[in-house]
Structures are given as C-alpha cells and as structure tokens.
Structure 1
C-alpha cells in the first residue's frame, strides 16, 4: 500500500509522549516529513526520521519564529494539553488561565502561524486533539479541562468554516481515556490525594470506558493519519470520537 502522507510536511506539538508521540511516529511511517516538537526535547529521542525541535507553544515569539523557519506545511496536529482535576470551586484563576493558554490558545498560536503557508499552497489539514470530557459529555472534576476542550471544538469549526473554500480543512479528535505517561501521573496523584491504592484508581478509569479497557495512543494516531491525508479531502469541521463508547 502506498504511504498515505508521502510528500507532505507535518508539524506535531507535544510529540514527546502519549498521543502526540504516536501521531508523530505514524506520520513518519506514512511518509511525511515530520517536525516533532516538545518543550522537553529529550522526550523526542527515538522518533526515527523526525526533525526534532524544542518548542514552547505558550510563547507567541517562539511559535512565530518556528513557523518562519519551517515554512509552509501541509499538516498541523495540535496535541499539547493539560488536565486539571477539580470542580468550579477548586479551580482558581491560575489554573483557569494556564488551562486555556495551553489547551486552547496554543492551538490559536499554531494555527495563526502556519495557516498563511497553507493558504499559499492552497491545501492544508489541521488536526486538533480535543477530548470526550467536556466536548461530548460532562465528567466529574474536569471543570476547566472540559470547558477548554469544548472551546477546541468551537475553534476547530470556526477555522473550518472560514477556510473551507480555500483548501484548508480542520477537524478534531475526541479521545476517551488513553494509556499515557500523563495518565499514569494523574492516577498516582489521585491515589495519593484520596489515599487509595494506585491499582484501584486505575481500575476506576478503566471502568468508566464502556468497552472495558483504556485506549492506546496508536488508535488515536490512526484517526489522525486519516484526517491528515487525502482520503479525508471531503471532511472538515467534524468531531471524531475515538473513545471506546465513552460518549454512549
């Protein structure tokens, strides 16, 4: 089978681990020239054939400079994100501002920086990682996280609507609970806070997935490959659930 992304140039944020890393690796495997970015560049080691770059998506200047150096691209995958735990009463202004800056404004920065090059080429695919939490259903203790991920859906649809006649597509993936280092950290933290065994907390995450297991980063990456490629040329402004029945 021909490589589906052959000849395309892609940028992936938060490519050091989890979903972002799986997407970067999948894009490379499908023939794309991939710029794998992360704030901690050491996490990018092992992503074969990718161009590894340090990038702070919270910095307007860094993002603008990076886009200028890279030049026009075909694919932008925004995977950077942060999961805050708590209700509205446990969400202070600092947590609110940081969550929106990383989960939403970082996508705005990246899209604003790379969209002109896509328009110049008359072709481009933007893939934003949203979440089942907030985007499609409410989840306890995910107040600001869910709010930001709902905003990602609005952002995605707005970009899709604005540039639908100019060759640029934008879609969002809403994962369920996915195996990742960040999930492991959240489980350990929650276990300490609630004084429960780690395995009991992990099982609670598994139990909330109707399919009976956690998702794999590669399963999200498979959808990200489809949305980035020419097979999805007629698809824009849509939400794709890869969630093990989480939204049922």
Structure 2
C-alpha cells in the first residue's frame, strides 16, 4: 500500500528539480500525479515516463490555472492534493532591483501560490492537502534576494490564512521552507550541457560546509520526502505550519 493510494495531486514546477522529485515520489506512493509546468518538452516527457497527465501551467496566469484544474478533473474525476512548488529567484540588492524584476518574482512565487489555493481548493474534496513551497528566507533575511524573500514571507502568511479558512473542510495547508537545495536554482551548471554539474555540486558542498551544520547542500529528494509527509496521513493533525528543511542553517553559525 502506498501512502497516497487513490489520491490525485497537482504539482507545479514539476518538470525538474524539487518538483520532479516530488512527482516521482508521489507516483511511487500510489498517487495519480498531474505534472504542471511551463517547460512543456521536459514536463511532457516526465509525465509520459510515469504514465501521468501533463498540463501546461504558467502559475501567474489565472486562465492557465482554470485549464489545469479542468484537465485534472476530466482525467481523474477529482483533486485531492496540490503542491505549489513553482518559483523563481533573482539576485539583486533592494535599491538596485527594478520594479519589473520585483513584480516578476511576486507574480510567479506569491501570486502563483495564491491562485493555486484559490483555484484548486474549491474543487478539492474534504480532507485534501495543500503544500506551499516557501523558503529558509521566508523565516529570516538574506542579502541580495529581497524580492524572493518578500514573496516567501508572504507565502507563510497565505499558508496560515488558508489553513484557518479551509479547516472546516478538513483541508490541511502547510509550508515547506527549504534552505540551499541542489537544483538548477542554486546550481545553474545543471542547465549547461557543457558544464560538469556533479563537480559544481561538490563545490556547493564545500561552500555550504562552512554555513550549514550538516555540512552540505540539500538534495531535492529530501524536500520531496517532506512534501510526501505533509500530503499523506502521517501528518493528519498538522496544519498551518512552516517546516524548515535546511540542514540546520537557521539554527545559527558555529564559530568552532
């Protein structure tokens, strides 16, 4: 018996990185997964490999959300879970951040999460689950990622409000707050066919050894396991909470 047997779960930003690992794990645990992304070739190939449904979804577009939900219901007759995973990151000091750049991050990370909750929750059966992907930077600050951190703080607020408003229907809403995870967001070498992505990962481990108590960058598979926990009955009495998964980074800095 899988932990998600019989459940239908939409995962956004699912074509690669954390989203891909979430889709793979959820499918292995018995879920009918809906692979949602703007990376159509990669997303469709992953869905075909898993025997899943692929939908094109720009999370910042209301019409895309309506189409994705309709496709999921047409294919499976129901929706039981949502993982709001899609997100983007831009590096800039606050005073050098153009408004267009700031709003681009807001539209994908914050508005995308809002639209996901607003569109999917009414179509969900009682007892559903929503997992929002916030960030380590959603519970602390970090220089040069002001727009990103602002949206991730906002996602925690959305998570708590949604948990309160949906509790009567036994829909649980929680947030994951990953630290540095070895995906294309932290390791752009993964997107460069000429680069040695594995060596880049080893370099990131060496860098984060100085910052993270557990001495390495996180793996997307580890975040996927947290998403599974929050989407199955193992977390049946948990809602409205942020879960930090950062190798101990938030705990502080060791001077030894």
Q: 2:164 aligns with which of 158, 161, 165?
A: 161
CA contact (8 A) 1:176 1:209 kept: no
Deviation at residue 68 of structure 1 after TM alignment: 2.1
Deviation at residue 10 of structure 1 after TM alignment: 0.3
Which residue of structure 1 lines up, in the alignment, with residue 6 of structure 2? 7
Q: 1:147 aligns with which of 123, 146, 150?
A: 150
Which residue of structure 1 lines up, in the alignment, with residue 53 of structure 2? 51
Q: 2:244 aligns with which of 241, 244, 248?
A: 241
Which residue of structure 1 lines up, in the alignment, with residue 94 of structure 2? 88
CA contact (8 A) 1:28 1:49 kept: no
Which residue of structure 2 lines up, in the alignment, with residue 31 of structure 1? 30
Deviations 1:27-58 (A, max 9, x none): 10100000011101212224522222221112
CA contact (8 A) 1:173 1:241 kept: yes
Q: 1:125 aligns with which of 123, 129, 133?
A: 129
Which residue of structure 2 lines up, in the alignment, with residue 218 of structure 1? 221
Check 1:199–1:225 CA distance in 2 against 1; reply closer, same or farther (3 A cut). closer
Bigger mean CA deviation after superposition, 58-67 or 204-213: 204-213
1:74 is aligned to 2:80:
yes
**C-alpha distance in 1, partners of 2:97/2:210?**
26
**C-alpha distance in 1, partners of 2:234/2:202?**
42
Which residue of structure 1 lines up, in the alignment, with residue 197 of structure 2? none
CA contact (8 A) 1:34 1:50 kept: yes
DSSP 3-state at the match of 2:18:
helix
DSSP 3-state at the match of 2:169:
coil
Please provide the CA RMSD for this pair.
Answer: 2.1
Bigger mean CA deviation after superposition, 11-20 or 63-72: 63-72
CA contact (8 A) 1:187 1:201 kept: no
**Structure 1 stretches lacking a partner, 5+ long:** 189-197
Deviation at residue 88 of structure 1 after TM alignment: 1.1
**Structure 2 stretches lacking a partner, 5+ long:** 192-199, 252-256
**C-alpha distance in 1, partners of 2:201/2:35?**
33
Aligned length: 236
**C-alpha distance in 2, partners of 1:66/1:166?**
22
DSSP 3-state at the match of 1:209:
coil
Deviation at residue 206 of structure 1 after TM alignment: 4.8
- TM-score under structure 2 length normalisation: 0.86
Deviations 1:180-205 (A, max 9, x none): 122222899xxxxxxxxx79974434
**C-alpha distance in 1, partners of 2:202/2:239?**
40
CA contact (8 A) 2:127 2:171 kept: yes
Deviation at residue 131 of structure 1 after TM alignment: 0.4
Q: 2:230 aligns with which of 217, 224, 227?
A: 227
**C-alpha distance in 2, partners of 1:206/1:21?**
26
